Amino acid sequence: MKREDVFCDCEVIHADLVETVRKRMPDENELYDLADFFKVLGDSTRAKIIWALDESEMCVCDLAVLLNMTKSAISHQLSSLKQADLVKYRKEGKVVFYSLADNHIREIFEKGLEHIREDISIRENIQ
């Protein structure tokens, strides 16, 4: 694709289309919150934790062993995930078990992973 192919130089603005899309655009605060949501998922350690919790409910100690990290580091990341409402917890005696907050988180994460795997598969087949 040539550089000039990516620029629109049309004289006519499609006002009806612009207005239709403008009316449907989410509120600025919603878009800000959505960007924050993806920022939280944008950390590889938190992505590993989300992946593990997508597989099974786990406690901090189990996550620390699985990811070869300290319990303190895992707790710090879980705190960010809790604050973003991506994970929830329950207590069983002295043990705290973490899981994904809801199926939306599971679906978003799995769809993202599916997209990445599909992209990798396509690239491998091209080569």
Residues in the chain: 127
- C-alpha dist (Å) from residue 35 to 29, 31, 75, 80: 10, 6, 23, 15
| Alpha-carbon gap, residue 54 to 63, rounded angstroms | 12
pLDDT digits (tens, 9 = 90+) for 79-120: 999 999 999 999 999 999 999 999 999 999 999 999 999 877
Entry pTM: 0.79
pLDDT digits (tens, 9 = 90+) for 35-51: 999 999 999 999 999 99
Q: Give the ranges where 2-102 is alpha helix by DSSP (H).
A: 15-24, 28-41, 44-55, 60-67, 71-83
At 43 the three-state DSSP class reads coil
| Alpha-carbon gap, residue 71 to 62, rounded angstroms | 9
Q: Which domains are assigned to the chain?
A: 27-126 (1.10.10.10)
Residues 6+ apart with CB under 8 A from 39: none
